[in-house]
Structure 1
Amino acid sequence: MKQGAINEGIPETDIITEIRSTSTRENVLSSLLELDRAMGLHRLKRILIVTTAFHMRRCYLNMRTYMPEWIEYSLCPVDDRKTREDNWFLHETGIQRVTDECRNLIHCVQSGKLQDEEMD
């Protein structure tokens, strides 16, 4: 995704990536440190969240659960070839991704790892 942003004209110096995490929750927590080092967490007002469309809800809920409340989010869901809203159910890969994502999201909310809320 970073290379795609660069290809669209966003300067590489304006892109902050986190590469050590192994889960969405770890990514959010590790990103706090990366953002603080890069610009000072207290200076942040808004973050652009870019992830696949089927992963956006869990990503957003992790942000709402673990990021400071004053930070706002702009959501930018990206479609991949096999998990778009209009075709995920046509491919075994899409079905598996969406099923796994639903199970993971339900588990995270029920276990208290994520706060649940409505999304538009």
Structure 2
Amino acid sequence: MAFYKITAPDRKYTGEVGGIGFYKGVAECVDGGTHSAGLNYCRRKGYTVEALDGPAADQEPQDSGDGRPAKSAAKTAWVKYAVARGVPAEEAEKSTRDQLAERFASEGDDQ
């Protein structure tokens, strides 16, 4: 599963394009499932599409020491973590980074 950052031509755009939610011209999504068509549309229409699985993603805080992403990690890291823990990809994508971090915050508390 690949993760992408998409930048809209209109840097102020907030809304949806092909099922992908943009805020102030920026969105993050997973390639596959419900976002494939939207991602392909963005590529064809001149949106900037950047893969987040490369070196830039490696510069993000990796984890909090117990396998969970650091609270300040990119949303894509939290989506990957949530999907690996059984959360449907579409549900994880619709959540904010902070919502995902809060959802899994108690996992490290019982160790």
Same fold (TM over 0.5): no
Q: Which has the higher strand share?
A: 2
Higher alpha-carbon Rg: 1
Instruction: Give the structure-1-normalised TM-score.
Output: 0.28
More helix by share: 1
